[in-house]
Structure 1
Amino acid sequence: IIGDDGGAQVTYDGGDTWSTYHNQPTAQFYRVTTDNHFPYRIYAAQQDNSTIRISSRTSSSVINDKHWESTAGGESAHIAIDPNNNEIVYGGSYDGYLTRLDHSTGHRRAVNVWPDNPMGHGAEDFKFRFQWNFPIFFSRHDSKKLYTASNHLHVSTDEGHSWATISPDLTRNDSTKLGSSGGPITKDNTSVEYYCTIFAAQESSITEGLIWVGTDDGLVHLTKDGGENWTDITPRNMPEWMMINCIEPDPHDAATCYIAGTKYKTGDFNPYIYKTTDYGKSWKKITNGIDREHFTRAIRVDLTTPGLLYAGTETGMYYSNNDGEQWHPLQLNLPIVPITDLALKNNNLIAATQGRGLWVLDDLDLIKQSLKSNGNEDILFKPEDVYRMDGRQNKKPKGAGKNHYSGVNTYYYLNDYDSKKDTITISYITTDGDTINSYSTHSKEKTNKLKDLMKGSNLHNWNMRYPNAKKFEGMIFWWGSLSGSKVNPGEYHVSLNINGKTQDKSFSVLKDPRINISDADFVEQTTFINSVNSKVTEAHEAIIEMRKIKAQLKAFQKNHKIEVIDNKISEIDSTLSVIEKELYQTKNKSGQDPLNFPIKLTNKLAHLNSLVQVGDSRPTKQMYAVRDELTGMIDAQLAKYFLIRDEELKVLNNLIRENVEDFIKY
C-alpha cells in the first residue's frame, strides 16, 4: 500500500499493477471558486494532480468521473473564470506560469506576466517574484480586467496579451529571505519556495478600484483608485511575518474587510482573523470560540446576511452570527480535515479540503432562520427555492460524489414529539389553496406516511409531483409509468400541522434555465399527464373492484350449491374476467413475462406517461391521438363493467335473497 498526494493505492502483485485513485475522496485542494454556468461548476487545483472543473449537481444520481475534467493551470493554481464566457478559464502554476484555456475548443496558451523562467534561481535574481499559489481574479466591476500578483499587482484588459504593473513592491522585500532554497548538499529552486510575495488579493464588490492585498510576509495594503495610490494598512497588533492566506472584502460595506492569516510554519498554531470597518485604519482580532490550535486559512462573509461569517481552519469549520464576536463549530458531517479555502454560491457554501476532496453545504438559509429561534418551539423552515430538473440523490454513492438532492427539502424542528400521541401532517399547496399532496404520521397509504420522526430536527423531501396513478397488487408493467406529473414552475406553499396547529411557508419551483419551454407548454404537459393518470386510476380501481367481486362470488359458490344462482355467478365471473384481461395482461407474473404475453390497455396508456415525461415539453399530436384511442377502448370496457356492477349484480343479489333465505336455520 502506498499513500501520496493523490491518495492511496494497493498492489497485489508486487507492484506490477496498482489500484486506482478514482474510488476515494482524497484530493488535496488549494483554492476553490465557481462559475455562472447552470448548474454552477466548481473549480479547484489539487496537489500533484490536475486542476479540475466539476459539476455541483447532475441530472443523474451521483457525481462521478464523467462530470469533471481538467481545466487551466497546474496543481497549485488559483483559477479565474471569464465572467463573459465561462468556457474561458485562467489558471496559475509555479514559475509564474499562467495559462488561458478555452474549453469549447481545447485551445490553450501561455499568458505569463513576465515569461522569464526562474528554474534553479533564487528569488533575488528576478524582476517579479511569483508565489507557488499566486492570486488570479477578475474585477467585479469590469469583466475585462484580469488581475494577478507577484510581489506587485498586475492587470490585463486583453486576455493576457499584455500586462500593466499597478503597484510598487507590496512586500517586505527582505533580502535575507530571497536566497536560494535548499542546501547545503543540493539546492531546490523551483520558485515554489519564493518568499516576500503577494499571497491574497481581492477587489471590493461595492466600489470599483478598491483593492485589498495581503502578502506571505505579513503586510496588508489598500488602494482606492485601482492602483494609482497605495496605503500600508497592516494591523498593528498582528504578529510579524504572518502569512495573509485569505482576504475578504465585505459585500455589504465597502469600508469593512476581513483577513485570515497563519503562522504554523513557525510553530504558532493559533487562529488569526482580523476585521476592519474603516478601510484598515484600525483592526480587531476576532477569534473568540475558535480552538487555540485551529489555525485559520479562510474567511468568508455571507452574501445576503451582514455579520454572518464562515471560517475554515486546520481542523474544520466555524461560523459566527455576530460579525466575529463569537464563533461556533459548523462541522456536521464534514470530516475533521484542513479547510484550505471557501466559496459562496447560490446560497451554498463550498469547502476545499486538504485530503478529503470538495464539500458543499446546501441551503445556508437554514442557518439564518435557525438564528431567529430560541430553540424552544416547533419550527417550519422556509424551503429553499428549487429547480424543476432531473436528478436524484443516491444515498450510497460508493466512490462517486453525492449528488444534490432532488425535489423540495422541508426542514422542521419539533420541540417535543410522542409518536403515540402526536399527529404531524405536511401538505404541499398551490397558491389557490388546492392541496397537491399530503403526508401524515397517521396516513394509511404507505407512500404518504411520515416515518422516523424525532424530537429535534426533521426533514421531509417532496418530489414535486402530483399523486401517482393507482396501482394494484401483483401488477406488472412493461415501460409504463404511474408517476404523477411534476408541478409547474411557480409559487407554492408548505404547511406543517402539529396536533391542529398549522405553520405555513412559501417557496418557488423554478424553471430549468437551460430548457426553452413556455409556461403554456408546462401546463399542457401537466394536464396531459394528469388526464392519463386519471384514466389509468379509474381502470385500476375497477380492476380492484372486479377482483373483490370475483372473490365474493367464489366464496359464495363454495358454500352454496344452487343451480340458478351458480349459473348467474359463472356468467358474471366470466364477463368480469374478459373485461379485466382487456384492461390488463393477467398472465404476467414476472418482469420478463410481457415478452411472451402482449401488454394491454392500461399498460399502453401508462406508456404514454413514460414518454411525455422523458423531458420537459408539450405532448406531440401523436401522443394525443394514441391517448384518445386508448381512452376510448378503456371506456368501452369500463362501460361493460359498470353495467355488471350497477345492473347485473342487482339481479344476482335478488336471486340470492329469494333462494338463500330459507337456508338460515335456527
Structure 2
Amino acid sequence: ELALGNVPADFKYRYNWNAPIISSPHNRKTIYHAGNVVFRSTDEGQSWTVVSPDLTRNEKNKQGPGGGPYTNEAAGGENYNTLMSLVESPHEEGVLWAGSDDGLIHLTRDGGLTWRNSTPREIGDGIINSIEVSPHDPATAYAVVMRYKTMDLKPYIFKTTDYGETWAKIVEGISDPHTFVRVVREDPVRPGLLYAGTETGLYVSFNGGQNWQPFQLNLPVVPINDIIIQDNDLVVATAGRSFWILDDLGSIQAGPVHPSSLTIVKPKDTYLFFGGSTDRPVPGLGQNPKQGVTIDYYLNKKADSVPLTLEVMKNRETIRLYTSKEDKDFKSWPGGPSKPQVLPSKKGYNRFTWDFRKDPLPAVDKVFVYGNYAGSRIGPGVYQLRFSLGDEVSETSVTVMPNPKVDFSAADYQEQQQILTNIENMITSIHRAVNEMRSVRDQVKNYKKRLESNGKAKDLLAMGDSLITRIDQWEKNLIQPRQKTFQDVINYNNKLNAELMNLKDYVDAAEPKVTEGAKERFQDLQNQWVRFEMEWNAIVGTEMKVFNLMYKNLDLPALIMERE
C-alpha cells in the first residue's frame, strides 16, 4: 500500500517511523511486526498473519492529513494510533506485550488468540515508548510512558509483578520535573538492578525501582533513546551523540556498598583475543576495551604504607605479579624491559587490565635485545586472581576462552604453552647466569685493585686474570653487548639470547599451532645452551673454587654469586 500523499484514516494498517519488528527469542524464524495490529511471520517474512485486533484507540479524527494548509506532510510515517513497543517474554513463548502511542498496553499469553487491556489508569494518552519483561520473573514487566507531546515532561515508569493486573509507579529519585523517561532495562545478572534512559541522561536503581539515582559518570547530558546489555557491557544509544558503552557491569552488579576494605569483583569470562585496542585513543572516535581481563576491585581506603598486590595464578601457581608500589630502582635503556605496571590503589572502585601475559623476563643490564622482554601469552583456561593488602586477601577466578575466530584443539594450545615455557625458562637461565658471572667478574676486578701491591697475591692475580678472560669469552656466546640501538642489530652478530627472544616472539604470535620449523629451531638453540651451560658449570664448579681456595689460603673473603 503506497502511503505517500494519503491520509492514515484510509490505510488498511497504520505504522509509525519506528514501527517495532522483533525476532522471537524462542524461535529465530518467527518474526513479529507491529503497526496498529501485530503481525507474525513463521517463514522469515515471506508471509504474515495478523494475530491481534487493533490495539490502539483508533481515533479517526486524529488520522487526517499530517500538515497544511500549504503543504501536506504525508510521507507515510506521520501516523497516530500506532504501536510503539512490542516485546515477547524471554520466559514463555507466545506471551507478548504491546504498547501504543496513544496510551494503551495490551497483553496476550496465548500467542495472540486473546488480548487483554492491561493499561495502568494513570497513563492517559501518553506514548508507551518501552516495555521490558524482567529477565528473572515472567510476571514482572516495566512500562515507560512519555507525555512530552502534551507538555508533560515528568517521568513515568510503571512496574507490574502480576502480568499487568496491577501497576505501581516507580520514579522516586528522578527529581527533575523535566526529565521524562524513554527506556528502562533490568540487569540480566542481578534481579532488581534497573537502568533508566531519560531525556537528560542515565539513572540506576538497585532495589527494583523503589529509588533511583543519577548514573551519568562521563556520559554527556543527552537523551537516551535505548539501552541494551550485551556481553555484560551497558550500551546506550543517544540522540545525536553516538553509542556509549560502559565496559563490564560486574562492579555495579556487586552492589553499591562493600563492608570489607578489599573486595574483588569476579570478572566476566573473557575471550583470548589480541589486537583492536590502543593506549592512545583517537579524538572523536570510540575506543575499544583494552585487550586482556578487566578486573574491578574496591578499597575503602587508599593503599599507602602497605602495598596492594595482585597474583594471577594457574593451578595455584603464580604466573604474574603486580603491585601498587612503584619500583624506584627500575632502570630503563634502549632495547630493555618496559616499566612495570602499577596497580591503581585509590579509595573506592579501581579498574585494572591483566594483559593475558605472564611475568616479564629478567634482563641483563644495559644490553639491547632484538625482542620483547614481555612474558608470553597465556592459553585458554581458568585462572585464579588473588588481591592482598596486609592481612586481607580477596580471591576470585576468571575463565579465559579461546578466540572464537580460530579453530584449534586444546592440545594445540597446550603444545604452544609448553614450548613457550621451555623457551622462557632457557632465556631466564641464560640471563641469570650472565648476571651472576658479571657479579663475579666485578668482584675479581675489585679484588685485583686491592691486591696489586700484595707480593703474596701474584698467583692469585694471575688466576683472576684467567677467570675474567674465561667469563668474557663465555659471555660473548650468549649476549651481544655492542648492540646499543636498533640499527646495531644488523651491524653486530646476534647471540643466543637474542635468537631465543626472537623465537619466543614468533611462537607467541601464532594462533596457536606451533610450526615444525619453530620446533626444530628450538631444539638447535637448546643444544647450544646445553654446551654453554656446561661451560658455566665448569667455571663455577672448578675455576671459581680454585680462585676461592687461593683466597682462603691468603685469609681473604671468597667470591659470591649474587642470586636474584
TM-score for both structures, normalised by structure 1? 0.76
Are the counterparts in 1 of residues 189 and 253 from structure 2 also a CA contact under 8 Å? no
Paired position in structure 1 for 2:403: 512
The one-letter amino acid paired with 1:265 is K
Q: CA deviation at 1:300?
A: 0.9
Aligned pairs for 1:188-587 (under 5 A) are 188-238=73-123, 240-291=124-175, 292-371=177-256, 373-375=257-259, 377-391=261-275, 393-398=277-282, 399-417=284-302, 419-420=304-305, 422-431=306-315, 433-441=316-324, 450-478=342-370, 480-558=371-449, 561=452, 564=459, 567-587=462-482
Q: In the alignment, residue 513 of structure 1 is paired with which amino acid?
A: P
Letter in 1 for 2:185: R
User: Are the counterparts in 2 of residues 489 and 508 from structure 1 also a CA contact under 8 Å?
Assistant: yes
* Partners of 2:297 and 2:349 within 8 A in 1: yes
Question: Residues 469 and 534 of structure 1 are in contact (CA less than 8 Å); yes or no, is this contact kept in structure 2?
Answer: no
Equivalent residue pairs, number: 541
CA contact (8 A) 1:565 1:656 kept: yes
Structure-2 separation of matches of 1:378 and 1:641: 47
Pick from 136, 154, 173: which aligns with 2:21?
A: 136
CA contact (8 A) 2:248 2:268 kept: yes
Shift of 1:202: 0.7
The equivalences for 1:3-82 within 5 A come to none
1:437·1:466 contact (CA, 8 Å) conserved in 2?
yes
Offset at 1:567? Answer: 4.3
CA distance in structure 1 between the partners assigned to 2:180 and 2:297 by the alignment: 34
Q: Describe the SS at the equivalent of 1:260.
A: strand
- TM-superposed CA distance for 1:623, in Å, is 1.8
- Displacement of 1:260 in angstroms is 1.0
Q: Secondary structure at the match of 1:549?
A: helix
Name the CA distance, whole Å, in 1 between partners of 2:161 and 2:548: 88
1:197 counterpart letter in structure 2: T
CA contact (8 A) 1:484 1:530 kept: no
What does residue 518 of structure 2 align with? 623
Listed one character per residue, the Cα deviations across residues 257-278 of structure 1 (whole Å, up to 9, x for unaligned) are: 2111212223221111111222
Higher strand share: 1
- Structure 2 residue matching 1:366: 3-state secondary structure: helix
* Paired residue secondary structure (1:583): coil
Q: Deviations over 1:407-456 (max 9, x none)?
A: 22332222223512x2422222334x322233334585866674442222
Distance in 1 (alpha carbons) for counterparts of 2:187 and 2:234? 9
Aligned residue number for residue 491 of structure 2: 596
1: CA distance, partners of 2:67 / 2:469: 94
1:605 to 500, 503, 517: 500
Superimposed CA distance per residue, residues 286-321 of structure 1 (whole angstroms, 9 cap, x where no aligned partner):
111113322111111222332221111111111212
The answer on whether the counterparts of 2:367 and 2:480 sit within 8 Å (CA) in structure 1 is no
For normalisation by structure 2, the TM-score amounts to: 0.89
SS at match of 1:290: coil
Q: Is 1:120 aligned to residue 24 of structure 2?
A: no
Distance 1:418-1:199 versus aligned 2 partners, 3 A rule: closer
Distance 1:491 1:411 in 2: 18
- 2:561 counterpart residue number: none
Measured after TM superposition, the shift of residue 337 of structure 1 is 1.6
Residues 271 and 290 in structure 1, CA contact (< 8 A), matched pair in contact too: yes
* Equivalent position amino acid for 1:277 in 2: T
Q: Please tell me whether the aligned partners of residues 258 and 298 of structure 2 are also in contact (alpha carbons under 8 angstroms).
A: no
Q: Which amino acid aligns with 1:258?
A: Y
Of 527-536 and 405-414, the range deviating more from structure 2: 405-414
Contact residue 379 and residue 413 of structure 2 kept, 8 A: yes
Which range moves more in the overlay, 382-391 or 567-576?
Answer: 567-576
Please say if 1:184 is aligned against 2:75. Answer: no
Give 3-state SS (helix, strand or coil) of 2:154's partner.
Answer: strand
Query: How far is 1:217 from its partner?
Result: 1.6
In 2: Cα distance, 1:169 partner to 1:224 partner? 17
Offset from partner CA, 1:188-207 (integer Å, 9 cap, x none): 22123222211110111111
Write the letter of the residue equivalent to 1:168: P
Deviations 1:507-553 (A, max 9, x none): 32222333322222222211110110010111111222233333344
Contact 1:261-1:272 within 8 A present in 2 as well: yes
- Measure, in 1, the Cα distance between the counterparts of 2:555 and 2:110: 103
Q: CA separation in 1, counterparts of 2:534 and 2:326?
A: 32
Q: Is the CA contact (8 Å cut-off) linking 1:484 and 1:529 kept in structure 2?
A: no
Cα shift readout 1:80-136 (whole Å, capped 9, x = no counterpart): xxxxxxxxxxxxxxxxxxxxxxxxxxxxxxxxxxxx222222322322221111111
CA distance in 1, matches of 2:245, 2:341: 30
Counting aligned pairs with the same residue, the percent is 36
Q: Could you give the per-residue CA deviations for residues 210-240 of structure 1, whole angstroms, max 9, x where no partner exists?
A: 11111112111112222222222221111x2
**Pair 149,449 (structure 1): closer, same or farther in 2 beyond 3 Å:** closer
Structure-2 separation of matches of 1:123 and 1:177: 9
How far apart, CA to CA, are the structure 1 residues paired with 2:260 and 2:441? 56
Task: Summarize the Cα distance change of 1:132–1:620 in structure 2 as closer, same or farther, 3 Å threshold.
Answer: same
1:156 to 8, 22, 41: 41
Q: Secondary structure at the match of 1:533?
A: helix
| Alignment CA distance shift 1:561-1:392 (3 Å) | farther
- Does the 8 Å contact 1:438/1:448 carry over to 2? no
Structure 1 counterpart SS, 2:174: coil
Structure 2: give runs of 5+ residues left out of the alignment.
Answer: 331-338, 557-564
Q: Counterpart of 2:350 in structure 1: which amino acid? A: N
The aligned counterpart of 1:113 is none
Deviation at 1:361, TM superposition (A): 2.0
| 8 Å contact from structure 1 (residues 180, 189) kept in 2 | yes
CA distance in 2, matches of 1:574, 1:184: 103
Cα distance in 1 between the residues matched to 2:261 and 2:340: 25
Counterpart CA distance in 1 for 2:27 and 2:351 is 42
Does 1:646 pair with 2:541? yes
Q: Does the aligned pair in 2 maintain the 1:476–1:588 contact within 8 Å? A: yes
How far does residue 607 in structure 1 lie from its aligned partner after superposition? Answer: 1.6
Could you say if the C-alpha distance between residues 417 and 250 of structure 1 is closer, same or farther in structure 2, counting changes exceeding 3 Å? Answer: closer
Return closer, same or farther for 1:425/1:287 CA change in 2, 3 Å cut-off. same
Give RMSD over aligned pairs: 2.5
Structure 1 residue 651 displacement after superposition: 3.4
SS of the aligned residue for 1:298 comes to strand
Structure 1 residue 146, shift from structure 2 partner: 0.9
TM-superposed deviation, 1:339: 0.8
Q: Aligned pair in 2 of structure 1 residues 615, 330: CA closer, same or farther (>3 Å)?
A: farther
- Note the C-alpha offset of 1:638: 2.9
